[in-house]
Amino acid sequence: MTFIHKYPKAAKVAKANFIVAFIALAIGGLFGFVQALHRTNVFRGFFNSGEYYTLLTGHGVLLALIFTTFFIAGLFVWGVTRSLDREPENLTFTWSWFWLMTIGLVMATIAILGGLVPDSSIRAAVLYTFYPPLQAHPMFYIGLALVVVGSWMAGADWFWSYRKWRAENPNERIPILAFMTLFTMLMWYVCTIGLALEVVGLLIPWSLGWVTEIEPLLPRTLFWFFGHAVVYFWLLPAYYVWYAILPKLSGGRLFSDSMTRIVFIIFLLLSTPVGYHHQYADAGISVGFKFYAMATTLLILLPSLITLFTVVASMEHGARQRGGKGYLKWIGKLPWDSPAFVGCALAGIMFAAGGFSGMINASMNINVLIHNTIWVPGHFHLTVGTAVALTFMAITYWLLPQLTGRKLKYKTLALIQPYAWFLGMTLMSNAMHRAGLAGVPRRTAEPEYSGFDFEPIFGTMTEMKWQIAIGGTILMISLILFLWVVVASWLAGEKSDKPVDDYIPEPLSGVEHTPAILDNMKLWFGLALLLVVLAYAFPLWEMVADGIFSPGALPRPS
């Protein structure tokens, strides 16, 4: 018996979400590969440099918004169903959020891909951040709004299951998988307020021509109100995997239940009031608010450091149970031949490395060195592009058998895949960071200028260019391996009653040692809202005081 046999309805929902996620991954990944070859001038024959920005938008939106959101929805359906031991409460409702999100995704994708059709009036080359005055076809904004509304309904679905479960189990603690899901969604509700205000209140009326003017700063600020928390919306499901599943894959148990809950609470509190750290170079926001955001951002390092400790301690527990000894020798006893484990572990290592460049991005003074350079994509390909994406791919090797009732095929290819991703990403991201230090801009189809040469601190530009292109190619190969293994296993894997060991053991320090206040959702949600009001109320008021759409605001704080 595995998940599909116990909860066939939930399995179907989770699978549907995964299908959409993997299609988005395939298309978005291909765009990324084309970009890597185009901007390094290794090969520019696929598309012209104008179309590059359409591909860039497609890459960002399909991977960072669509692949993640749908995968997370599938993962959470699995987790909530399993940990609360109940199928979705009302399947009509469940399928309606899935289809709403899918319709939205299709609309946004058509708007983006319209840019590749000659003479098309439908286009959305507005990049992932869609800053005005870049304008997309209204279909793009409406589609994204539908995806967000769908995700709100998905969250409501899981809270619904939780309430029903709570009514039947009034004295039980929230199971850890459900806890992580619910807190992630609480954070999602807080941060998507900004996106909803931006898209529905400003961008849709503007793109439909109902209003003709728009202030650039207000939508940017609202975007980053959402935009940093969204990275935690991607990351927390990866943490969810690292906390709940990775210890077991390592052969051990989660080190501490209460640590896990504390980490998710801190993320709920601090994820949103940090958005200004993406706007350090924006005139019009006083440096005091930027400083507040910087302090909060550096505080967010804390839960990630707690995670470093808890997750590594859980893995070490597994290694020692498998016979590991010594200070570092135990690492060799971890199951380096299991694709799911290897992917998660390598993703974790990458995330630790991403922490280094993240600290530089977060610091207001040093940020200036790398602001808007290709360093920044270098950084987030370590975090969302590996810590999140590789974790999702790896855990698919473990989840897919549970959802389909089929064993994984091509285990050797599946094993090569995470190592290849790690290698390719190191090469690509390392060169992107170094090129960024030399001043190479991000989001540029042809980063070459006449009469000007970039001066790298060391090495040569040519060497970096090839490192990016080769890294991108290895990533593409790794992605093809992943998709191949998934499709083959899904369609032709050997059917089995127990296709994978899906048991999750209890934590070493269990829920009995966890303070009850950690489960008080109203308290933490209220505090999170309070912190957001403190960070955003005054500056947003300043921006809208002269009229919501008025572009006449001074480019400085008054």
Partner 1 sequence: MPEEKSNPTNNNESEKSWEERNPDIVREITIDEYQPYGTLTLTLIYFAIVALMWVFMYFVEFAGNAPSIID
Partner 2 sequence: MSEEKSDNSTKKLVKILVIVGIGVPVLVELMTLFNLINVQIFEDEKDANSQGFDVEDVRGFGEGDTLFSDQASVVVIDELRIKVSAQEWRFALGLTSADSSSQDELEISVDSLSLQSKKMLSGDNNSWEVKQSAPAQVYGEWILPNGDIPTKLFISSDQKTGKDSTKKVSQEVPLDKVPVRYNQNQ
Instruction: Give how far Cα 207 sits from Cα of 123, 131, 141, 142, 550, Å.
Output: 12, 12, 8, 10, 16
- Round to the nearest angstrom and report the end-to-end CA distance of the chain: 65
Is 322 a binding residue for partner 1 by CB under 8 A? The answer is yes
How near is the Cβ of 74 to partner 2 at its closest, in Å?
A: 27
Contact with partner 1 (CB under 8 A): which of 85, 411, 413, 444?
85
> Applying CB under 8 A, which part among 66-74, 249-257, 275-283, 530-538 lies near partner 1?
249-257
Do residues 257 and 514 lie in contact, with contact meaning Cβ atoms separated by under 8 Å?
A: yes
The single residue of 38, 220, 253, 381 carrying the catalytic annotation is 381
Which class for 377: exposed (0-12), middle (13-18), buried (19 or more C-beta within 10 A)?
buried
Kindly state the number of chain residues that form the binding site for partner 2, as judged by CB under 8 A.
20
Residue with tokens 């920005």: 53
The rounded distance, in Å, linking the Cα atoms of 527 and 350 is 32
Do residues 456 and 437 lie in contact, with contact meaning Cβ atoms separated by under 8 Å?
A: yes
Q: Does residue 434 carry a catalytic annotation?
A: no
Helix (H) or strand (E) holding 13: helix 8-39
Q: Does residue 278 carry a catalytic annotation?
A: no
Is 422 a binding residue for partner 2 by CB under 8 A? The answer is yes
**10 Å Cβ neighbour count for 310?**
26
How near is the Cβ of 83 to partner 1 at its closest, in Å?
A: 5
The single residue of 442, 482, 525, 536 carrying the catalytic annotation is 442
Which one, 103 or 301, has the nearer CB to partner 1? 301
Contact with partner 2 (CB under 8 A): which of 101, 266, 353, 395?
353
Is 107 a binding residue for partner 1 by CB under 8 A? The answer is no
Contact with partner 1 (CB under 8 A): which of 8, 288, 326, 515?
326
Is 457 a binding residue for partner 2 by CB under 8 A? The answer is yes
Residue 245 is classified by DSSP as T
The rounded distance, in Å, linking the Cα atoms of 225 and 234 is 15
Which one, 430 or 473, has the nearer CB to partner 2? 430
Rg of the chain over Cα atoms, rounded to whole angstroms, equals 23
Is 451 a binding residue for partner 2 by CB under 8 A? The answer is yes
Residue 208 is classified by DSSP as T
Length of the chain: 558
Q: CA nearest 54: which of 124, 136, 144, 130? A: 124
Which one, 83 or 94, has the nearer CB to partner 1? 83
Helix (H) or strand (E) holding 556: none
> Applying CB under 8 A, which part among 64-72, 127-135, 408-416, 522-530 lies near partner 2?
408-416
Q: Does residue 226 carry a catalytic annotation?
A: no
Contact with partner 1 (CB under 8 A): which of 99, 291, 336, 356?
356
Region for residue 74 given its phi and psi (left: phi exceeds 0; alpha: psi -120 to 50; beta: otherwise): alpha
- The amino acid at residue 250 is S
412 contacts which partner out of partner 1, partner 2, none, CB within 5 to 8 A by kind? partner 2
- Interaction residues for partner 1, span 173-232 (CB under 8 A): 175-177
The single residue of 67, 277, 443, 525 carrying the catalytic annotation is 443
Q: Does residue 228 carry a catalytic annotation?
A: yes
> Applying CB under 8 A, which part among 67-75, 180-188, 422-430, 439-447 lies near partner 2?
422-430
Which one, 113 or 311, has the nearer CB to partner 2? 311
- The amino acid at residue 260 is T
- Interaction residues for partner 2, span 476-535 (CB under 8 A): none
Residue 446 is classified by DSSP as -
Q: What angle do CA 22, 26, 31 make, to 5 degrees?
A: 145
Collapsing DSSP states into helix, strand and coil, what is residue 456?
Answer: coil
Is 414 a binding residue for partner 2 by CB under 8 A? The answer is no
How near is the Cβ of 138 to partner 2 at its closest, in Å?
A: 36
527 contacts which partner out of partner 2, partner 1, none, CB within 5 to 8 A by kind? none
> Applying CB under 8 A, which part among 82-90, 113-121, 376-384, 453-461 lies near partner 2?
453-461
Residues 6+ apart with CB under 8 A from 156: none
The single residue of 82, 220, 228, 433 carrying the catalytic annotation is 228
221 φ, ψ (degrees, to nearest 5): -65, -45
Is 89 a binding residue for partner 1 by CB under 8 A? The answer is no
> Applying CB under 8 A, which part among 28-36, 321-329, 398-406, 533-541 lies near partner 1?
321-329
Q: Does residue 381 carry a catalytic annotation?
A: yes
309 contacts which partner out of partner 2, partner 1, none, CB within 5 to 8 A by kind? partner 1
Contact with partner 1 (CB under 8 A): which of 283, 369, 491, 527?
369
> Applying CB under 8 A, which part among 155-163, 330-338, 522-530, 533-541 lies near partner 1?
330-338
Count H helices and E strands in the chain, helices first: 20, 0
Is 337 a binding residue for partner 2 by CB under 8 A? The answer is yes
DSSP string, 19-83: HHHHHHHHHHHHHHHHHHHHHTTS---SS-TTTHHHHHHHHIIIIIIIIHHHHHHHHHHHHHHHH
Residues that bind partner 2 (CB under 8 A): 336-337, 346, 353, 412, 415-416, 418-420, 422-423, 426-427, 430, 434, 451, 457-459
